[in-house]
Structure 1
């Protein structure tokens, strides 16, 4: 996918590979070497991404990698292969329930700016103006780093301090062009230096893309699906909703009141909050428009659970078909 855009890592990349996975082990290995191999295999399948610690911890625990004796354990090739498949399958399942949203930075967006002289001139001018806070018409060379920070992932620039190798790449490019100094530059000189830095960065990313995890949650109905699969939990949640919508203040239950409850507390069940994006309002409208009953009519106790379950199923179907992206920074 073009860099600056979003790619969802939902485990499908791993699941597709499992059908063709061959045993990479031809001799016994220790648990320590296995862990290195499994981590490397996962990174290869996920565009070189270093997985978040919380994710590797969950997968490792379920595969038994946290056993104090595991690192020194000797595994024959068949044992290692089976455990590798378990590791990748569990990782794929975890990503299906809780996908990661990433940007794959491969230099594409930067090249678009660099190849269009007018676009680049406007970009450089805007950045220079934003950074020239005192309106002196001059900026020091080391402001190039702030220019890169201002451009950010949306313009194809990886963030500083994201990973050690990313910092090393950006620092080496800045050092190569003397962009760490304090010499003052006019707007044209600053634009020329920025162009050279961005060209080197685009070339580096083209040969070795960088994957950046975005602070975006994908809400795909997986949490609500687990509720539907657990009758005890479903009963408890239904009872909680019933008590809420039949309180003294609310009166008898109705579909309209169920909707109000979910709009207020649906995020606790894995539903997207209304403020996530405008599509959520449409999602609620789609789900509740499919109900035949009068939305404000009083519901009998015995039909309440069936209606709630039907609403949950409708949300799951809609979210599986059209997941909602929730920017956690907003």
Structure 2
């Protein structure tokens, strides 16, 4: 089946990027500097438009925080030297933000659709499933106009870009009469769907479309920030200690810590405990590494060391094996 491949954008391609201004540049506004940096970054990131949250986070790393700071910077006139410095500082900030919070993207070039169409069995199965989903009344017939919904339902996972962002698909649907009146049986549906998908694949081969998946990669970077911040770490330890003191004295310390992290770990940069099987394996791996003799620790200093050790092991495991969390799921 022609599933699309994914690319993790972690900022590496931006780190070697150094943009120079034209020699005849007299001055630039902050807005021009940001636009130029974003354009250069986009070219290095599959041509993607940078998400607003990425741009905002990168600006905060440059101490440009909030609407007022943003407006003031955009209006400011910068000398060529200052503009060049700010431009490359912004690119570095984008790279740093991507290192902590990578994006998961795909470059849709039609190859996934071509693979699907070349395999008759795969295509027949997909067409049958799409038809069945659309035949809600189980009549064995659907409106011809449902072809549009079939293409939409295939989605990025099968190599079809969103219609609102790749409007050429609308022209292809119209060309093949998908907006006309009439009904289709399953075989007629498949016969009409096939050339439509072929043309979409051809269009993508000429004009690639990059898309960001709604997936978060948990790689331990947020947890490391907690470990590096004494106040935040103390707050976490105090909350877990409170759980221990409030009626859970009969439980092992490791059990109390694990229970707390499963419920509150997302706030610390851990993946949601219910995300997927990989998270279960992560917890098993971390707590299997903890010396069972520490589980009954009652001393405050020992308890603090135990919590810190567990969080450090989570950070190590996530750095070595990041976990992908589907935010749509």
TM-score (norm 2): 0.88
Q: Secondary structure at the match of 2:14?
A: helix
Post-superposition offset of 1:67: 4.2
Instruction: Tell me the alpha carbon deviations over residues 194-239 of structure 1, each in whole angstroms, 9 at most, x when there is no partner.
Output: 1121111112222322222222221111111001111222122212
Partner of 2:297: 298
1:103-252 equivalence runs, <5 A: 103-161=106-164, 163=165, 166=166, 168-251=167-250
Distance 1:214 1:299, change over 3 A: same
Post-superposition offset of 1:145: 0.8
Post-superposition offset of 1:24: 4.2
Question: Structure 2 CA distance, aligned partners of 1:181 and 1:202?
Answer: 23
Partners of 1:30 and 1:71 within 8 A in 2? yes
Across the aligned residues of Structure 1 and Structure 2, the Cα RMSD in angstroms comes to 2.4
Q: Secondary structure at the match of 1:127?
A: helix
Matched, 1:11 2:8: no
Partner of 1:318: 317
Q: Secondary structure at the match of 1:294?
A: helix
Between 227-236 and 206-215, the greater mean CA deviation after superposition: 206-215
Post-superposition offset of 1:292: 2.1
Question: Structure 1 CA distance, aligned partners of 2:113 and 2:190?
Answer: 14
> Where does the alignment leave 5 or more consecutive residues of structure 2 unmatched?
none
Q: Secondary structure at the match of 1:68?
A: helix
Question: Structure 2 CA distance, aligned partners of 1:37 and 1:133?
Answer: 50
Q: Secondary structure at the match of 1:49?
A: coil
Post-superposition offset of 1:131: 2.1
Distance 1:299 1:293, change over 3 A: farther
Partner of 2:30: 31
Distance 1:314 1:176, change over 3 A: same
Partner of 1:272: 271
Distance 1:75 1:260, change over 3 A: same
Q: 2:80 aligns with which of 77, 80, 83?
A: 77
Post-superposition offset of 1:244: 1.4
Post-superposition offset of 1:313: 0.9
Question: Structure 2 CA distance, aligned partners of 1:117 and 1:249?
Answer: 60
Question: Structure 2 CA distance, aligned partners of 1:232 and 1:215?
Answer: 32
Instruction: Tell me the alpha carbon deviations over residues 220-261 of structure 1, each in whole angstroms, 9 at most, x when there is no partner.
Output: 111110011112221222122112112234357622322222
Q: Secondary structure at the match of 2:293?
A: coil
Q: Secondary structure at the match of 2:296?
A: coil
Question: Structure 2 CA distance, aligned partners of 1:195 and 1:143?
Answer: 14
Report how many aligned residue pairs link the two structures.
Answer: 322
Distance 1:32 1:280, change over 3 A: closer
Partner of 2:58: 59
Between 249-258 and 49-58, the greater mean CA deviation after superposition: 249-258
Q: 1:89 aligns with which of 84, 88, 92?
A: 92
* Deviation beyond 6 Å, 4+ runs, structure 1: none
> Where does the alignment leave 5 or more consecutive residues of structure 1 unmatched?
none
Between 223-232 and 112-121, the greater mean CA deviation after superposition: 112-121
Q: Secondary structure at the match of 1:191?
A: helix
Distance 1:133 1:292, change over 3 A: closer
Post-superposition offset of 1:158: 1.4
Question: Structure 1 CA distance, aligned partners of 2:185 and 2:152?
Answer: 20
Post-superposition offset of 1:300: 1.5
Between 245-254 and 257-266, the greater mean CA deviation after superposition: 245-254
